[in-house]
């Protein structure tokens, strides 16, 4: 978390969003290998420092994945991890070009939002554009695991589809 702490020390004017995706370390490690280098407990402490220095809520980006990280245990883990830290949850449907991970159903997401009420924090649902070009929020890195690789971008203002 040295980058976050340096950012706080340097007092940059921009808000940060922190990718969480799970507050259960084993789930998070399976989805986000960075968990092995920077464990959730360290990230939480850096977020605590960030929120205290800014005197505002820290934005937690939470990529919701059908049947994987949208249960009661996930909401409770978030509550335990971020207790005492002012946060806002930014829910993002997963985007996975490989089809391995699917966004939650409307019912599943509704239940999860209900479970998240234990956080006593605002919850926002983020619209994620950019799916057509593999740049949507919530896109899991898949290029080295059978996903599509974007090889070139169209000229700005062009309507030419991407080559893959």
> pLDDT of the chain along its 164 residues, tens only?
889 999 999 989 899 999 999 999 999 999 889 999 999 999 999 999 999 999 999 999 999 999 999 999 999 999 999 999 999 999 999 888 788 899 999 999 999 999 999 999 999 987 666 556 555 455 555 444 444 443 333 333 333 333 33
pLDDT for 1 equals 83
* 65 located within any domain: yes
* 144 located within any domain: no
* 62 located within any domain: yes
pLDDT for 98 equals 81
Helices (H), the chain: 2-10, 25-31, 34-37, 40-54, 72-82, 106-115
Note down the domain range covering 77: 14-128
- List, in order, residues 6 or more apart from 27 with CB less than 8 Å away: 21, 68, 69, 74
* 134 located within any domain: no
Domain count, the chain: 1
* 1 located within any domain: no
- List, in order, residues 6 or more apart from 98 with CB less than 8 Å away: 142, 145, 146, 147
Q: CATH number of the domain that 24 lies in?
A: 3.20.20.70
* 53 located within any domain: yes
* 25 located within any domain: yes
* 142 located within any domain: no
pLDDT for 99 equals 84
pLDDT for 154 equals 37
């Amino acid at each position: 978390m040295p980058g976050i702490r340096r950012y706080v020390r340097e007092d940059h004017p921009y808000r940060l969003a922190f990718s969480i995706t799970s507050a259960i370390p084993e789930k998070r490690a399976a989805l986000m290998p960075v968990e092995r280098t920077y464990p959730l407990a360290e990230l939480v402490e850096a977020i605590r420092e960030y929120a205290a220095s800014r005197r505002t809520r820290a934005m937690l980006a939470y990529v919701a994945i059908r049947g994987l990280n949208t249960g009661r245990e996930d909401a409770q883990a978030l509550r335990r991890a971020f207790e005492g830290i002012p946060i806002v949850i930014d829910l993002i449907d997963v985007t996975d070009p490989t089809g391995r991970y699917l966004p939650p159903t409307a019912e599943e997401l509704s239940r999860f939002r209900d479970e998240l009420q234990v956080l006593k924090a605002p919850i926002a649902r983020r619209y994620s554009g950019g799916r057509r070009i593999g740049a949507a929020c919530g896109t899991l890195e898949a290029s080295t695991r059978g996903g599509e690789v974007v090889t070139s971008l169209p000229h700005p203002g062009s309507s030419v589809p991407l080559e893959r």
